[in-house]
Amino acid sequence: MTFKAAAVQMCSGVDPQRNAESMARLVKDAAARGAIYVQTPEMTGAVQKDRPGLMGVLRDEENDLIVKAASDLARELAIHLHVGSTAIKLPDGKIANRAFLFGPDGAKIASYDKIHMFDVDLDNGESWRESSVYRPGERALVADLPFAKIGFGVCYDVRFPHLFRAEAMAGAEILTTPAAFTKQTGEAHWEILLRARAIENGAFVISAAQAGLHEDGRETFGHSMIVGPWGKILAAAGGTGEAVVMAEIDTEAVKACRAKIPNLKNGRDFQLDIAPVLAKGGVTV
């Protein structure tokens, strides 16, 4: 099946209401241009590194502003709308970095909590400890939509290929990695990672990203991208500011790529051995 997909690039601030308005404007633009599947970035609702400030605007899923706005938009535009993620308040005081997929009737089809936490110290002085604030997800997800099977991931998940391999083995034809990649890591790895996930799974990869300098001082890499199953970049945005990138998705191309390089079928289980260390003279130690 062939259809149009869009990745919406944003520069979300600290106010969910303003971010919801930006989301609506960009999603409507994508739908007007024929997209029936539209994806927004990670942390669509608020990019806010100050924990008290973030906690002050958080709501549970039932009362979340972005969740309601996205449901209404999907219904109004009769599209499948994928909120790349937004922060959801949990009963235990932690936060879920949660993606949502809404159908053309506005109903929630599925949600996915980011599994892998970005706990890193970068050499430019940036330090991140997502696990101190967010509760990691425990379940991968593939949604079977009328036009394609879609596998879910969020940002740092893209560095864990076994997640996407499991989704591809479950039939996913499109893999998704909405993100708020840091500028430093994005410059080094973003395109390579997205193209690698596409090539190794023979799948489309759609990645809506945050871009530019945010209100909280964070700088994100942008370059929202749609990659084909052969690794070709089909559409890409720049590194700053809002954008809508679109591409024609033909799921027959997934079948063709997987027929050419049938690595999903050719994989084998194996045993990993650790060879003993040999001292000088060939003596095992």
Strand order in the sheet with 243-250: 108-113, 95-102, 80-89, 37-39, 2-9, 243-250
Q: What integer is the mean pLDDT of 122-126?
A: 65
5-56, pLDDT tens digit by residue? 999 999 999 999 999 999 999 999 999 999 999 999 999 999 987 778 888 8
Residue 273 lies in a domain: no
- Active-site residue, from 155, 167, 173, 183: 155
Residues 246, 248, 250: CA angle, nearest 5 degrees = 145
Q: CA–CA separation, 166 vs 118, rounded Å?
A: 21
Any bridge partners for residue 98, and if so which?
A: 86, 113
Known catalytic residue at 42: yes
Closest CA to 122 of 44, 212, 187: 187
- Judged by average pLDDT, the poorest of 3-7, 61-65, 128-132, 200-204 is 128-132
Beta carbons within 10 angstroms of residue 47's beta carbon:
24
Q: Is the pLDDT of residue 268 over 90?
A: yes
Beta carbons within 10 angstroms of residue 119's beta carbon:
12
Residue 274 lies in a domain: no
What is the number of residues in the chain?
285
Q: Is the pLDDT of residue 126 over 80?
A: no
- Which of the two residues, 119 and 240, has the higher pLDDT score? 240
Q: What integer is the mean pLDDT of 265-269?
A: 95
pLDDT at residue 179, rounded to an integer: 98
Closest CA to 264 of 165, 160, 148: 165
DSSP annotation of 80 reads E
- Chain-centre distance of CA 221, in angstroms? 14
Any bridge partners for residue 246, and if so which?
A: 6
pLDDT at residue 38, rounded to an integer: 98
CATH code for position 106: 3.60.110.10
Residue 85 lies in a domain: yes
- Active-site residue, from 89, 114, 149, 183: 114
Residue 227 lies in a domain: yes
Residue 24 lies in a domain: yes
Residue 284 lies in a domain: no
Known catalytic residue at 255: no
Q: Is the pLDDT of residue 82 over 90?
A: yes
Residue 277 lies in a domain: no
The total number of structural domains in the chain stands at 1
Closest CA to 67 of 94, 80, 86: 86
Kindly report the pTM of this predicted structure.
0.94
Q: What integer is the mean pLDDT of 269-283?
A: 81
Known catalytic residue at 155: yes
Work out the end-to-end distance of the chain between its first and last CA atoms, rounded to an integer number of angstroms. 59
Q: Is the pLDDT of residue 205 over 90?
A: yes
The upper half-sphere exposure of residue 46, i.e. CA atoms within 13 Å in the direction of its Cβ, equals: 23
Q: CA–CA separation, 190 vs 282, rounded Å?
A: 44
Q: Is the pLDDT of residue 113 over 80?
A: yes
Q: Which domain holds residue 240?
A: 2-266
- Active-site residue, from 42, 130, 173, 219: 42
Q: Is the pLDDT of residue 285 over 60?
A: no
Q: Give the ranges where the chain is alpha helix by DSSP (H).
A: 16-32, 51-57, 65-77, 161-169, 183-201, 251-260, 263-266
For residue 63, give every residue at least 6 positions away whose Cβ sits within 8 Å of its Cβ, in sequence order, or none. none
Q: CA–CA separation, 207 vs 188, rounded Å?
A: 16
Q: Which residue has the tokens 């999907």?
A: 74
Residue 271 lies in a domain: no
pLDDT at residue 48, rounded to an integer: 87
**Cβ proximity of 237 and 247 under 8 Å:** no
